[in-house]
Amino acid sequence: MSWRVVVVSSNAKVDFKMDYVVVRMLEETRRVHISEIGVLMLESTAISITAYALCELLAHKVKVIFCDRQRNPCGELLPSSGSHDSTARIRQQTRWTEAAKAAVWTEIVRAKIARQRDVLRRWERPQAALLTRYLEELQLGDASNREGHAAKVYFNALFGKEFSRALPIPENAALNYGYGIILSALNREIAAAGYLTQLGVFHDNVYNAFNLGCDLMEPLRPLIDNAVMEMRPETFEKEQKYALIRLLHAQVFFDGRQQVLLYALRLYCASVFRALQSGGTDELRLIEYEL
């Protein structure tokens, strides 16, 4: 099972030789067997990587994340076909019923609001009681937009009434970075299973190539939110970024068993696809985590 998150952060050349990803830096050369790598993050624009290495990384379903000049994720590498039966999977995806999507989305929203409530309780915010009420009012497909109402209450309670997700502050930089890491890991699992990341359950922005990943990541956002609260970043530099990347190795619970988050994401995605295919939520399993 691939489990390593490999970050290349300085001037380097990345190549592939005899089943190893080879990273040649100015002062040293490091090698990692490709079977161990789940995510490869290229954090500097001074890194060069060979086409051979990229093709092998795609073949082994390794998620490759590219960063911009500010070292923030700006793109990722996705295979044109992630599964031997991807055509059949895509046909299934286009036939998911509106009823199945509404049922699955309801449970995703329920899990997200419940986890947000857990974060507010963790930080002793009285607004947690209001999120409990929103959970009780949740309707099929979230017809009354309890998710949106909960988000407004949640962020103001957690980060303060003056907080806005549009502000250029370290907290938002950390949130965006953490969300980006989780989204990329989910996109990897979606593509590897043979589905299209563009076709979502609820999200349907024509300019968003990752609508399905955005759907699936919603219950995991509070994990990032809590980490940023613990971090209280006055700046957002390498140390804070690595702390968020390490969350992919966090211990979580899936279907009653302890798992590493990176592997639990695979199991979670598979359960979502089974639920959408079956038309109900009996197959759906969600990731649980302690704060």
pLDDT tens digits, one per residue of 217-261: 999 999 999 999 999 999 999 899 999 999 999 999 999 999 999
Q: Is the dihedral of CA 145, 151, 154, 156 positive or negative?
A: negative
User: Rounded distance, CA 289 to CA 119, Å?
Assistant: 11
Are the C-beta atoms of 96 and 102 separated by less than 8 Å? no
Average pLDDT over residues 33-49: 94
Q: Model confidence at 4, in pLDDT bands (50, 70, 90)?
A: confident
How does pLDDT run across 184-228, given as a tens digit for each residue?
Answer: 999 999 998 999 999 999 999 999 999 999 999 999 999 999 999
Helix pair 170-192, 261-278: axis angle to 10 deg:
60
How does pLDDT run across 45-79, given as a tens digit for each residue?
Answer: 999 999 999 999 999 989 899 999 888 888 898 87
Angle at 50 between CA 47 and CA 54, to 5 degrees: 100
Q: Which residues contact 132 (CB under 8 A, 6 or more apart)?
A: 117
pLDDT of residue 120: 98
Q: Model confidence at 8, in pLDDT bands (50, 70, 90)?
A: very high
**Where does 123-145 have alpha helices with state H?**
128-137
Helix pair 146-159, 128-137: axis angle to 10 deg:
170
User: Rounded distance, CA 264 to CA 259, Å?
Assistant: 6
Indicate the average pLDDT of the chain: 94
pLDDT of residue 282: 94
Average pLDDT over residues 18-40: 94
**Closest alpha carbon to 96 in 199, 11, 248, 16:** 199
